[in-house]
Amino acid sequence: MEDEYRFETLTIHAGQPPDPATGAVMTPIYQTSTYVQTDVGVHKGYEYSRTGNPTRTALETCLAALEGADFGLAFASGMAAIDTLLRLVSPGQHVLVGDDVYGGTYRLFDRVLRDYGLSFSTVDMADLEAVSRALRPETRLVWLETPTNPLLKVADIAAVSELAHDHGAQVAVDNTFASPFLQQPLALGADFVVHSTTKYLGGHSDVVGGAILTDDGDACQRLKFLQNAVGAVPGPMDCWLVLRGLKTLALRMERHCANARRIAAFLADHPAVERVHYPGLPADPGHALAARQMRDFGGMVSFVAKGGEAVARRVVTGTRLFALAESLGGVESLIEHPASMTHASVADSALAVDPGLIRLSVGVEHADDLIADLARALGRGAPE
């Protein structure tokens, strides 16, 4: 299926043939914990739903197809996927981590996994010389996000992968911000892709989930063992919600990108705005690389309003359409204050963010309505 069809077609059909038992066009929600055996050990491929469930299989097959991967595994959350992947790293080994990764990822590495003998250090993944210097003989894994959160910095997946492989390390890319519609890290040389399917893949802010995709058959066997042995699996209803969201992924991403591009241009021209972070802006430091590596520039925009934190807090509470909330990637637009919300857990670390920063998850509403909403809130933010 992967070789025959294009992305838009795969979102709707990969892993989802009509149900063989009934002809149902939609993949059924196999809400069952166990499966009958006709003799001891004789069954139709499923024994127990932590180990496997047909709705989850459909999701895993579809996600693998969308990332161009041989194997896909679904998890109960993005963090569960990340935690499971990190179990490939042994005590004494080192993980090199991008310096503005998702706050929850940094927290898991720094405050949970460090206690189990793994070591972590951070580096600016956009600076290849710094990456090269930071790789150690004991580096097992390089962990990167691009574009990053919340500064939308762009890293060269192919170049970082080459450096890592030269040092005997593997590369994992958290592709949550881009989605496979915009960028496919495995094709660029990465070894693993992880997703929080909670975001663009689900797309409707109604489910929490995660996934790992890879072409590495040995690693996949171990990860599949861990998925079952550790047990952080998604239920069939949650898998079905992500499958439903995936069907419109390409359509939604096109609108997210178009709206974000207009909003970034509006903000860049606004007198109350100090700076805008969006790789789609020609002046953005990541623009050329993003244009090469991504199909479009994504739906996330961040900016600093003149006046610092006090103004930022007034702006994020002053919008009507943009809802003040954590998370991202849903059809509805969200606004948030990273320093006190998504990035509060890293406030005292190397990952601390500018307290004046505002992050937008631009939804698929009409761009004119979104721009009017931001214009009103920025007017309100201005000092009297």
Ligand X SMILES: *Cc1c(COP(=O)(O)O)cnc(C)c1O
Is 133 considered catalytic here?
Answer: no
Tell me the one-letter amino acid at 90. S
* Count, residues in the chain: 384
Residue of 83, 99, 174, 215 marked catalytic:
174
**Minimum distance, C-beta of residue 27 to ligand X, in the bound complex (Å):** 21
Q: Which two tokens mark 384?
A: 């009297």
Q: How many helices (H) and strands (E) does the chain have?
A: 13, 12
Q: Which run of H or of E encompasses 78? A: helix 78-86
Give CA torsion, residues 279, 164, 211, 48, to 10 deg: 180
Q: Which is nearer to ligand X, 102 or 297 (CB)?
A: 102
From the CB of 54, what's the least distance to ligand X, in Å? Answer: 23
278 belongs to the catalytic site: no
Please list, in sequence order, all residues whose beta carbon lies within 8 angstroms of the beta carbon of residue 382, skipping any fewer than 6 positions away.
272, 307, 311
The single residue of 5, 35, 50, 70 carrying the catalytic annotation is: 50
- Find the catalytic residue in 56, 153, 199, 252: 199
Decide: 380 and 152 in contact? Cβ < 8 Å: no
Asked if residue 72 lies in contact with residue 61, where contact means CB atoms within 8 angstroms, the answer is yes
Distance of closest approach, residue 193 Cβ to ligand X, in angstroms: 12
Give yes or no: 48 in active site: no
What are the residues whose beta carbons fall under 8 Å from the beta carbon of 12, sequence distance 6 or more?
Answer: 247
CB of 337 to ligand X, least distance (A): 16
The tokens for 178 are 């881009």
Among candidate residues 56, 83, 100, 102, the one labeled active-site is 102
Edge to edge, the sheet with strand 119-123 lists 71-75, 210-214, 192-196, 170-174, 139-145, 94-98, 119-123
Taking the least distance from each CB to ligand X, the nearer of 238 and 284 is 238
Examine the residue annotation and report whether 102 is marked as an active-site residue of this protein. yes
Residue 223 has, within 13 A of its CA and on its CB side, a CA count of 27
CB of 149 to ligand X, least distance (A): 5
Q: Please, which residue, 27 or 77, has the CB nearer to ligand X?
A: 77
Nearer to ligand X, 203 or 210 (CB): 210
For ligand X, the closer CB: 110 or 373: 110
Residue nearest to ligand X (CB): 78
Residues 6+ apart with CB under 8 A from 167: 135, 136, 137, 139
Q: Which of 70, 32, 77 is nearest to 50 (CA)?
A: 32
Query: Shortest approach of ligand X to residue 168 CB, angstroms?
Result: 26
CB-wise, 145 or 354, nearer to ligand X?
Answer: 145
Q: Which residues contact 160 (CB under 8 A, 6 or more apart)?
A: 125, 128, 131, 142, 144, 171
Report the interface residues with ligand X, using CB under 6 A: 77-79, 102, 104-105, 145, 149, 174, 176-177, 196, 198-199, 208, 210
- Residues carrying an active site annotation: 50, 102, 174, 199
